Structure 1
Amino acid sequence: MAFMGTKSASSSSSSTTSGFKYDVFLSFRGSDTRKNFTDHLYAALNQKGIFTFRDDEKLERGTFIAPELLRAIEESRFAVVIISQDYASSRWCLVELAKIVECMKKMRLIVLPVFHYIDPSDVRNLRKTFGEAFAKHEERYQDKIEEVHGWKAALVEVASIAGWDLQDKHEANVVEEIVRKISDKLISTYSIVHKDFVGINSRMEELVNLLGMGLNDVRFIGIWGMGGLGKTTLARVVYDRLRNRFEGSSFLANVREECEKHGFVPLQKQLLSDILFERNINFSDVQMLSNMIEKRLCYKRVLIVLDDVDQLDQLEALAGERVWFGLGSRVIITTRDQHLLIKHDVAEAEIYKAKELNSDEALQLFRLRLFWVKTISGNGFRIFLVFGCAGKLHFPEIIFS
């Protein structure tokens, strides 16, 4: 018996479960970047499952900043501030920025600046359009001059944070770097291991080491063992922990059962859809879809889990050879049949044998799952009622005080 290894087990990475409503807040000057860099970044964050707040285009036409927008800043883990040429000319952007800096100091909001084809030193020293913008603000808002000074201090502070300068980089690379940085930081904050998954942490680290994430080869990793040892749960936890480090990912659950019921085609389509985000794949021929997997994924760095495989032709249809996938890809296969992995050319060093619980872990699981205790007190006595996992009463004990 292993940790609580059920087929339905999965992690919860929702921001709402940890007190944050959003993962990322985007601050930008709409007329400068909404339809180009900001739009590309927003799409890339959403594609990776990173919950991002971007204001509605119609809101920018208003005179006053909406309260819900300021509240969104308070409810976000990260703020990506895209400082463009006319960013400082917008009172809306500056009020937003002052709130971001306030939350950065009080609530540990992580601020990531992007310098949109401007010299960061011009921002820090308030030169060119930035100096001109503040000259106008000081003239227009003479009755709120302290607020204007606060905006100025906020802009200088954010411009002093190490960020990304688009002048010397390709936008696609910068978008990828930002998404990867946020993904990595989010992974470290998520509680991906359920409290009842006894013994999973050490096994997870062993499997991650086996994956060799720092290497640029393509690896097929096998997890094998008898039923009930938690192979699927282990694969799921590692998948959830690492998926954002790849260009695409897919978790194909219950391969054996799905193939018996529906054949290979639905799983092949799901694999392609998960990674390529294509919903209308009209092919229905197994070989044609296998060729499509090979040709479309051979340049992509992907993470794939094939769960509960029991036939060689399942592997041949879904992950035939390493050359089907781009450098750095990892394919995790869970199975009860070690020889199946060997037949599919999975090296012995790449096979992880699922482990039963040791005596300490078994005792911990016993305490967690077999009994729970209810205490009743009154009139100078306490009754301890110990219940089994099926709700049956065991070992009532009365203690008089």
Structure 2
Amino acid sequence: MAERPRIYLSPPHLTGSEAQYVQEAFATNWVAPLGPHVEAFEREFASTVGSPYALAVSSGTAGLHLALIEAGVGPGDEVLVSTLTFAASVNPICYLGARPVFIDSERTSWNMDPALLEEELERRARVGRLPKAVVLVHLYGQSADIDPIAAACARYEVPLIEDAAEALGATYKGRAPGTFGLAGVYSFNGNKIITTSGGGMLVSADEALVQHARKLATQARDPAPHYEHSEIGYNYRMSNVLAGIGRAQLQVLNDRVSARRRNFDLYRRALGDLAGLSFQEEAPWGLHTRWLTCVLIDPEEFGADREALRLALQAENIESRPVWKPMHLQPVFRDYPCVGGQVAEDLFRRGLCLPSGSSLTEADLDRVVDVVRRCAGR
């Protein structure tokens, strides 16, 4: 019997219009970094999220690295960061010789707990050890509760950097997450809600910050007829070809959000009656894009644990993935402190991300639902 087609967690979804922009780059010989598509993509993206300035870069990780540099982070500094996230949120802190301090999640949005952050900043202020920055991650297409976090950072004069890699298209009280702090960073990796195959965007309301980050991202070349360098720089610019792909993708962002929310609605209707299975809720402060549909499994009520369900899906050639393993549990970060951690640990232990791509058909979703229902009550 032939194996059924693979259902991926979150595959790229192209429109067909990307080829026009890529062909234009080829026809004009703008295939190297920089070029008219890069400049246009920056303008269009800034307009989409409501930020005055944007810088297209080679990855979201590169954008975070630049944002941390602009915040003044350096060797020996401490940076508070969400523990429930992907390692790319933390690695740039370590690139700079700084020390991550992890903050637990709250259960409403699964993002950084504002109360824990406030307590930690207050404690550090008393002993004169405020962090150099806070990196707030917006997970799975849902914004964190930004207002109390931004207020706490402002109170203690600690720069706020937003990792919105997973939250393009989401809203927080009508605004785009990623536009509240000193800088925000987005990702266009192949699994994101829109993709350039690889790439990212740094945004900020601070023109000087973006201009300096632009210089650093272009090997920190000083204005001169020869190659002159007074700072260490990086090769972090996005190519004109990839920016062309991004321009086409950006035009269908709202369609992609709608498709992923439809996936979630179908899952909820088809699986909402199962004991021991619950969905990540949409927080009351904004729109959840449902970049990934995430469920929590209570093994006693459901009849199987999260890993058994994942393996059952895998046996049917369906990709699913556990919720992020908290950073404070990762071997590479085990020596760094964590404030709390129990919520993130529980979400990891019980959480599973179901296939959520915007190109999924109803037949694809029915296959997933069938496996989940058969796995329940075992």
Pairwise TM-score range, normalised by the shorter structure: under 0.3
Of Structure 1 and Structure 2, which has the larger fraction of its residues in strand?
Answer: 1
Flag the structure with larger Rg: 1
Q: Which has the higher contact order (CA 8 A, sep 6+)?
A: 2
Q: TM-score, normalised by structure 2?
A: 0.27
Of Structure 1 and Structure 2, which has the larger fraction of its residues in helix?
Answer: 1
Q: TM-score, normalised by structure 1?
A: 0.26
